[in-house]
Amino acid sequence: MTKPTTTTDARFRFDVLNAEGPVLVDFFADWCPSCQRISPTLDELAADWEGRLKVVKVDVERNPAMTKAHGIQSMPTLVLFEGGEEQARFVNVIRRAAIEDRLAAVGLAA
């Protein structure tokens, strides 16, 4: 079963911006209760969308450069990238159905 992977400031370009296909990035902090609540949903998405969507996590406290570069101000913030470009952004805890609806809206099939 596929799980979300973790990336860093140093690897963000390789793991996200240069990745083949869409990448959903979770900007999170360990101490954030909302981040903890959405984590199981992201685990499910990584497994259920395997081969169609890569899920990557970025710890905002350990990776301030990418956090700042992408204007992250609230957590959790999920950013969907494809071809190195931001396609969608989700702020705060949201339901899986809402995430999948947004993925469909940008052309990703469930």
**88 included as an active-site residue:** no
**35 included as an active-site residue:** yes
Q: Of 16, 23, 25, 32, which residue is the catalytic one?
A: 32
Nearest Cα neighbor of 25 from 33, 1, 9 is 9
- What is the rounded CA–CA span in Å between residue 42 and residue 19? 18
Q: Of 35, 55, 78, 108, which residue is the catalytic one?
A: 35
> Around 4, how many Cα atoms within 13 Å sit in the side-chain half-sphere?
23
Residue with tokens 């970025």: 58
- What is the rounded CA–CA span in Å between residue 46 and residue 14? 19
- What is the rounded CA–CA span in Å between residue 48 and residue 90? 19
> Catalytic residue numbers?
32, 35
